[in-house]
Amino acid sequence: MKQIVKQVCGIDVAQKELVVAFGRMYDDFSSQVYAHKTFVNNVKGFDSLLSWVKKLSEEVIEVLFFMEATGVYHEKLAYHLYLNNQQVNIVLPNKISNYARSLEVKTVTDKTASEAITQFGLERKSEPWSPPDPVFKQMRQLVRERDQIVQARTVAKNQLHAEQAEAIPLKNTVSRLKKQITFFDKQITEVVQEINVLIKSNEKIKVAVDLLCSIPGVGLLTASTVLAETNGFDLIKNKNN
Confirm whether 239 is domain-assigned: no
What CATH number is given to the structural domain containing 79?
3.30.420.40
Question: How many domains are there within the chain?
Answer: 2
The stretch 10-15 carries a mean pLDDT of: 95
Last residue of a domain, one of 83, 104, 123: 123
**Per-residue pLDDT tens digits for 156-214:** 999 999 999 999 999 999 999 999 999 999 999 999 999 999 999 999 899 999 999 99
Residue 177 pLDDT: 98
Confirm whether 27 is domain-assigned: yes
The stretch 122-145 carries a mean pLDDT of: 91
Run of H or E including 65: strand 63-68
Confirm whether 161 is domain-assigned: yes
Residue 126 pLDDT: 84
Residue 206 pLDDT: 93
pLDDT at position 239 over 70:
no
Q: Which residues contact 103 (CB under 8 A, 6 or more apart)?
A: 116, 119
Enclosing domain of residue 47: 4-123
Residue 241 pLDDT: 43
Residue 203 pLDDT: 92
Confirm whether 94 is domain-assigned: yes
Confirm whether 235 is domain-assigned: no
The CA distance from 117 to 158, in Å, is 41
Same domain membership, residue 73 and residue 27 = yes
pTM: 0.77
Residue 154 pLDDT: 98
- Region of poorest pLDDT, from 24-38, 61-75, 147-161, 224-238: 224-238
**Percent over 90 (pLDDT), the chain:** 78
The stretch 41-65 carries a mean pLDDT of: 96
Same domain membership, residue 116 and residue 148 = no
Phi-psi region of 31 (alpha: psi -120 to 50; beta: other; left: phi over 0): beta
Per-residue pLDDT band for 237 (boundaries 50, 70, 90) equals: low
Confirm whether 51 is domain-assigned: yes
Confirm whether 67 is domain-assigned: yes
Residue 132 pLDDT: 85
The CA distance from 196 to 208, in Å, is 13
Same domain membership, residue 138 and residue 119 = no
Q: Coil, strand or helix: which one is 28?
A: coil
The CA distance from 70 to 229, in Å, is 14
